[in-house]
Every structure is written in C-alpha cells, then in structure tokens.
Structure 1
C-alpha cells in the first residue's frame, strides 16, 4: 500500500473544504451534516469541529447508514434517522467518490426523512469512474485511478492509501 495523503494533507484539505462551506452559505444555522457510514463519519466530525472553530456555530452532525438503500446489497432497509431536515441545507460527507452508488443511496436515505431545501455533497477524494450522473459540490482532491486500484481511508491515521485489488 502506498500513502497518497498523510494526516497533515488531510487536515489542510478539510480546512479548505470547511472554508468553502462557509463561503457558500450565508446562514450556517440552516445546515445539517451527515457523515456516510462508516468512513464519511470521521471526516464529517472534523468538518463539524472546523466549522465550530472558524465560526463559533455548532452545526448538527448525524451518521447516515445507507446499507439498506444500496442497489448492490440486498439487506433489509434501515429505518431512517429521525432528524428534522425540512427546509434545511444538508451536506452529505464521504471519503471517496467512485461510481456514485453510495451517494445515490445516501440521497434516497435523506429523501426518506423529509425534503430538505438543498442537498450538497462533500468528498475528500474523487477518483473518477462514475456509473451514475453524480458529482461532488466540495472536492478535496481529484485522484484519477485505474479500476484495478482501491483507495483506502485509514480513520485512525487520518491518511489515504492506494493499493491494487
């Protein structure tokens, strides 16, 4: 495995993405963050902390379990988190954007809760190879990869690695 982002690079990237959120939103009180289980949640926690440090506003954060919404996994659907997101700006957060299937499942899970005013997507790394017409609103790094490679976000080290399948 080869490291492609160390913890310092991840930290700097997430600070930049946090500043982008602040620049695009006049009222941070209308934002709700959802970290996509499981690798998106640690990233979302850092974004939440950054928002609080930079603005003094405590933005709500929830874990979003998408297992029951995936089209490639036939598990019993999960009950959606009971969160008031009506007329809120939802920001979905994940580690890697690849085919787009995870974020499609996340969109379904959010819409099952209520109709937010807006849904945005923040991702640490976009590796390309989309199977669905999905794009991220906030992208940390673009890292084109081959289909034979896998990006792995280490939540303990807060580092990104690449390896061959």
Structure 2
C-alpha cells in the first residue's frame, strides 16, 4: 500500500461520531450526567467531538476529562486524570481513544477508574484494528478495519478537517 492511503474523510468521520453519540445516548438515556474520559492527545480530541454531538442530541450533561499517560511506556509512567478520582463515584463513564490496536493503552488507562466505584465504564474508539492482545472490547466503534500488524492507522482530529489514513 502507498503512504497515507485515505480511509475516512471528514464527512465520514463526523457521521461516525454522530452515530457513536446516538448509541451512547441510547445506552445511557436515563443518566443526567455522563463522563467522557479521553486518552491524552487524539483520544481526548475524539472525546470532545463525541461530547459535543451528545450534548446536541440529548439532555445529558457531559463532563469531559483527560486521561494522562505515556502511550509508549505506560508501565513506567504515572497514569492520572485531570480531576479528582472521588468525583467519579457512581458515575457512568465512557473511556475514549482514537484507535484500538492491541488494547494495551486502553487496558492501562483503566487503572485510575479501578480506584473508585463507578456506575458503569464503557469504551469508545473511532477505529478498531482488531489486533487485541489485552482483554479489551469496545461498546462503541466507528469503523472496523482489517490491517496487517505492520500497517499504521493515523488519525487527525482537532484540525479543521478530520481524517484517517493507513500508512
């Protein structure tokens, strides 16, 4: 495959984000507040876009938080939230990342949520590559993509145009 093969364009990504927002609303329609926890960088950007779409289509108030960790060395870095963990007690949470590859980042990102009793914890991703090595599954997936382990999915969010490329 050539470099930067387009997978999803701006319009397609926005459509997938709207669909994910509707699915989240359907599964959480009784909630007054929902916590969207975006994994640092692209996961947080995706969480912001989903939160905007969810607030547009539903009465649910969305609280956006960031999960901080070093994606390349999660065992050697501190994994933290930009809020007090106690504020998450009995809350429904959607953990968000851009791409699910091996499940490693998502698995380590769960650590702060294990310290507090949450009501529900679900996972949303824009692209699922299905190469999971960790027992992580998503409740909300924008796009399932069969790739080789050597290929790389590049997601660009937070810019004027959204895009997903296969490298």
> Is TM-score (shorter-chain normalized) higher than 0.5?
yes
Deviation at 1:25, TM superposition (A): 1.2
Written as runs of structure 1 = structure 2, the 5 A alignment for 1:62-73 is: 62-67=65-70, 72-73=73-74
Q: Say if 2:42 and 2:155, in contact at 8 Å, map to a contact too.
A: yes
Structure 2: stretches of 5+ with no match in the other structure: none
Alpha-carbon distance between aligned partners in 2 of 1:2 and 1:100, rounded to the nearest angstrom? 23
Deviation at 1:110, TM superposition (A): 2.1
Q: CA deviation digits over 1:124-155, x for unaligned, max 9?
A: 01001111111101011100110110001012
Task: Sort the Cα spacing of 1:78 and 1:108 in 2 relative to 1 into closer, same or farther, 3 A.
Answer: closer
Secondary structure at the aligned position of 1:149 is classed as coil
| TM-score of the pair, normalised by structure 1 | 0.89
Aligned length: 160
Alpha-carbon distance between aligned partners in 1 of 2:25 and 2:50, rounded to the nearest angstrom? 11
Q: Say if 1:85 and 1:116, in contact at 8 Å, map to a contact too.
A: yes
Match of 2:37 among 22, 34, 37: 34
Show the counterpart of 1:15: 18
Alpha-carbon distance between aligned partners in 1 of 2:80 and 2:132, rounded to the nearest angstrom? 28
| TM-score of the pair, normalised by structure 2 | 0.88
Q: Say if 2:32 and 2:59, in contact at 8 Å, map to a contact too.
A: no
Task: Sort the Cα spacing of 1:30 and 1:95 in 2 relative to 1 into closer, same or farther, 3 A.
Answer: same
Structure 1: stretches of 5+ with no match in the other structure: none
Secondary structure at the aligned position of 1:109 is classed as helix
